[in-house]
Structure 1
Amino acid sequence: MIKKRVSEFLIICIIGCIWGCKNRENDSVSETKSITLERFDQDLQKFISGNMSDTARFIKEYSDFLPIYCYGILNLIQNNPQDSLYSKTGLNKFFSNSAIKKLYKDTESEFKTTDDIESGLSDAFSRYSLLFPQAYLPRVLTHVSGLNQSIITTDSIISISLDHYLGASYPGYQNIYNPYQLPTKERSRIPVEVMQVLLYTQYPQENENKTLLDEMVYEGFILYTLQQLFPQKDIGEILGYSDNNISWCKKNEHAIWDKIIRQRHLFSTDLLLKNKYLGPAPFTSPISPNSPGRIGRWIGWRIVSEYMERCNCSLHELLEYPIDGEQILKVSKYKGKG
């Protein structure tokens, strides 16, 4: 039944192209959504130190996030339901650690101002509202996690762990992250990664039997949408690829596609194999040790780019349906050529 619905939708989509489907939003937006980061990290320190005049207001204002932060992110032990939130025992212990003190101090120094991040998010949220009129716009908070998850999302909140974005050369990262991970630690990555998490959250793919092609195409739609939200960024910036990575992909595009086909990986549902193509890694092992990691995402973006050239339809409608990679590939006419 789902397959039939998707096929019917694609037929409508193709007919729509003939009559002139909805055009892409241009590079200007008529109404800007103003995004202000809520500095939970700074308010929390006032709360812990006792320098906050209205602790009840703090607890109420962050009531949806504070338990998640204490018990989900920091993994504080909850001996008493009130203990870590009100007597601050667990929070004091966490922030008394010398390594965390240093990390927090460096984070607050790097993020004294966040105008650039707020500007990038405001512009992206404005475009997002045009592309996805029914989507919600969450509150955007900031926190320090001790290098736990970089971005946390709930039904109504996205919170950014600022200590993940202190720069690729930050000394504290050198013995924690692999070299291929360091380029993702720049503050300039924050707006893109926030919007990426929002897209994953609002448009998840529920099908448990997804093929590699299905997942590559889904990732391709995410990347293509991010291009519309950040038209000033090229695909390399959005992917976190270097110029050399992009150059390698373009030069070897046909060989990449040919190898995926020859190895009969395209319709595999094997989780380990899919992770080799799509998961963070120094290179994509089924392709070449010279390739960048997550090359399946780049191929997915190429397929979706060709598809959208032939059927420039609403991203909102496309992402609402379960992704049928085989149908999208067929319409795209993608053959592994740039």
Structure 2
Amino acid sequence: MVLFACGKKEDSCELDDEILSQDLTVEVVRLEDEFFNADNSEEFLYLLEKHPEFTSEYLQADLYPDLNSLSEDLVQVHQDSALRVLYDSVQAEFSDFSDVEKELEQAFKYIKHYFPEFQVPKVYTFVSGFNSDLIVTEELIVIGLDYYLPIDHTFQPDLARYMAERYDRPYIVPMIVTAISSFFNETNPQDNTLLAEMIYYGKAYHFTKSIMPCTSDQYIIGYTPEVIAETFSNEEFIWSHFVENELLYETNPFEIRKYIGEAPFTDAISTKAPGRLGRWLGWNIVDDFRFNQEVSLDELMANPDAEQIFRQSGYRPRPPQ
């Protein structure tokens, strides 16, 4: 069962040398070092002016009267002894960030291959004091490394355990790529059905798997391998629940949230069923659509018609193996 479940999207693979040969490099700027080495408001002010995108997007400078006020606030924050210990922990855990940097560069090359208009954003790391985990815009990416400390670390973000387990080093780049997928994921704003949500997330996960073909599904959707295997073994039962309860065209946001929103399990089906099952089903539908219709990745992402994608997918749940 494990081989079957993982085999659907995780066959042995090799990255495309032609794609990776592109002239594209990624430099990750370790801003936490610069900010924690600053001693006074003048030095913080210099850093704020040196990194205007970071200052505007991440530190939300527009909430302050001026940059001087923000720099003085940063002096107070960085004098906090607990934050200093948190920074030291991040330094110890992420002193070598080259593996993440390489994975991010490979992903950007794949995105650039499929979407030539993609412009590589500036990439920063930071220690936010658990104020912000990840910021992804078309111009800027900021990774709050304190969120990605090991799950058994003394300092932990204020997250439910089932969510905190996904904040680990192997999830960083898949999270970023999934966020970038939204720049290309066309939707119909008039379609507010559960099916539309399912297809949206299905396209997002399919995008991430296409960009990172050798990455385990575990790090894309956030299910453990055991949960993935069990979910595939119950795919017929899960699908019958959606069909028998006429859920695909449900528009009640409270009902939709039961199958799309973050939750430790989908209690409408079973307390043993993982949360976000609607997203998982949407991923299977989108996979089948692209395989059966032989469309390119950019054509898939540009298609806003969730109903068409579903109808033309020919989706049928896989029987237990």
Over residues 49-90 of structure 1, what are the superposed CA-to-partner deviations in whole Å (9 max), with x where a residue is unaligned?
Answer: 5896x974x444311211333337xxx972x413234xx210
User: Partners of 1:144 and 1:95 in 2: how far apart?
Assistant: 10
Q: How many residues align?
A: 304
Structure 1 residues 252 and 133: alpha-carbon distance in aligned structure 2, compared to 1, 3 A threshold? same
User: Partners of 1:99 and 1:265 in 2: how far apart?
Assistant: 48
Over residues 24-71 of structure 1, what are the superposed CA-to-partner deviations in whole Å (9 max), with x where a residue is unaligned?
Answer: x9731322432121112212223345896x974x44431121133333
1:68 maps to a residue whose letter is E
Given that 1:143 and 1:159 are in contact with CA atoms closer than 8 Å, whether structure 2 keeps it comes out as yes
Give the structure 1 partner of residue 297 of structure 2: 315
Q: Equivalent of 2:81, from 90, 98, 104?
A: 98
User: Partners of 2:136 and 2:225 in 1: how far apart?
Assistant: 31
Give the structure 2 partner of residue 29 of structure 1: 17
2:280 maps to a residue whose letter is W
Given that 1:129 and 1:135 are in contact with CA atoms closer than 8 Å, whether structure 2 keeps it comes out as yes
Distance apart, 1:325 and its partner CA: 2.0
Structure 1 residues 221 and 136: alpha-carbon distance in aligned structure 2, compared to 1, 3 A threshold? same
Give the structure 1 partner of residue 35 of structure 2: 44
Given that 2:185 and 2:204 are in contact with CA atoms closer than 8 Å, whether structure 1 keeps it comes out as no
Distance apart, 1:268 and its partner CA: 1.1
Unaligned runs of 5+ in 1: 1-24
Give the structure 2 partner of residue 283 of structure 1: 265
User: Partners of 2:263 and 2:39 in 1: how far apart?
Assistant: 39
Structure 1 residues 250 and 154: alpha-carbon distance in aligned structure 2, compared to 1, 3 A threshold? closer
User: Partners of 2:25 and 2:88 in 1: how far apart?
Assistant: 28
Q: Equivalent of 1:249, from 198, 213, 231?
A: 231
1:194 maps to a residue whose letter is I
- SS of 1:158's partner is strand
Within a 5 Å distance, the mapping from 1:219-230 to structure 2 comes to 219-230=201-212
Distance apart, 1:302 and its partner CA: 0.7
* TM-score (ref. length: structure 1): 0.82
Percent sequence identity over aligned pairs:
28
User: Partners of 1:293 and 1:261 in 2: how far apart?
Assistant: 18
1:184 maps to a residue whose letter is R
Q: Which 4+ residue blocks in structure 1 deviate beyond 6 angstroms?
A: none
- SS of 1:142's partner is strand
- SS of 2:213's partner is coil
* TM-score (ref. length: structure 2): 0.86
Give the structure 1 partner of residue 152 of structure 2: 169
User: Partners of 2:14 and 2:196 in 1: how far apart?
Assistant: 28
